[in-house]
Structure 1
Amino acid sequence: MTLDRRGLLATGLALALGGCAGRGGVSLVAGPGGEAAGLETLRSVTAGPTGLTIRVASSGCVRKEDFAFYVDRTGVPPTIAFARKRLETCHATTPGEAALTFTYQELGVAERGRLAVLNPLAANP
């Protein structure tokens, strides 16, 4: 799946029809069920009062700066996608997860309304 304008619009429309409720004034819409090449599989995504918190697999040294996000504000609802910029090079004895919070201001989206997250969600986080 490429992230061209037509693909994002079609995916955003499909996702808008099957949304799930979030917290903090923002309603999240589930990510795609099919291929999402280049996008990070999220263990969870939560809409809080000040921003989105994503939980991702981690070897112990992932940082927020290791992620890039793309927001398409042209559709309704706006869509967002997260991708890793670099792989982790550390190795913990037990792989785990990390919680990364991105504020709505940082993402450039309103603190109210709907927001479609395009990343796939892990089946068993």
Structure 2
Amino acid sequence: MAGGVSRRGFVLAGAALGLTGCATTPALMAAAPDETWPELEPLLAAETGPDALTIRVASKGCAAKADVVFRVDRKAGHAVVAFARRRLETCKGAVGWADLVFSYEELGLTRGERIVIANPITPSV
């Protein structure tokens, strides 16, 4: 098969591209004691994806991304990201959670950057 791409070559090329995408997804790191701020609202979870960081917050049904502000500080080769609510929720729904998605671009983060979340993470509602 001179000049053509074999099925095997195509599969290997696809796998290499897929792994490249995984390698450039920012990675969450464990926070050092001086990098967490216990006075910030606890998050229920934080997860990195290929294009965005998703945080899970406690909610009674009306939590919105517009109600949350963030700050990014750079320290020792990684980004420390903190989230805070602009206003408290006043709705009366049942206690649950909401996932809020922030793109790496809007956070000012780059692909492959290591991330520490300054908020305490307590996975319970």
Tell me the TM-score normalized by structure 1. Answer: 0.72
The CA distance in 2 between the partners of 1:91 and 1:24, in whole Å, is 41
The CA distance in 1 between the partners of 2:24 and 2:43, in whole Å, is 20
The CA distance in 2 between the partners of 1:104 and 1:115, in whole Å, is 11
Whether 1:106 and 2:95 are equivalent positions in the alignment is no
Contact 1:55 1:97 in 2 (8 A): yes
What is the match of residue 36 of structure 1? 38
Letter in 1 for 2:50: P
Contact 2:82 2:118 in 1 (8 A): yes
The CA distance in 2 between the partners of 1:82 and 1:32, in whole Å, is 17
Consecutive unaligned residues of structure 1, counting only runs of 5 or more, are 1-21
SS in structure 2 opposite 1:105?
helix
What is the match of residue 96 of structure 1? 96
Please show how residues 37-76 of structure 1 align to structure 2 within 5 Å.
Answer: 37=39, 39-76=40-77
Contact 1:57 1:96 in 2 (8 A): yes
CA-CA distance at 1:30 after TM superposition: 3.1
Q: In 2 relative to 1, CA 35–50 (structure 1 residues): closer, same or farther, beyond 3 Å?
A: closer
What is the match of residue 17 of structure 1? none
- How many correspondences in the alignment? 102
Larger Rg: 2
CA-CA distance at 1:36 after TM superposition: 1.5
Consecutive unaligned residues of structure 2, counting only runs of 5 or more, are 1-21
Letter in 1 for 2:38: A
Deviations 1:11-31 (A, max 9, x none): xxxxxxxxxxx9862110235
What is the match of residue 19 of structure 1? none
The CA distance in 1 between the partners of 2:23 and 2:81, in whole Å, is 17
Greater shift in the superposed pair: 22-31 or 60-69:
22-31
Deviations 1:45-100 (A, max 9, x none): 000001100000001001001101000125421111001110011110x2100000
SS in structure 2 opposite 1:54?
strand
CA-CA distance at 1:123 after TM superposition: 4.6
Q: Alignment RMSD, CA only?
A: 2.3
Percent identical residues = 41
The CA distance in 2 between the partners of 1:67 and 1:114, in whole Å, is 22
Letter in 2 for 1:66: D
Tell me the TM-score normalized by structure 2. Answer: 0.72
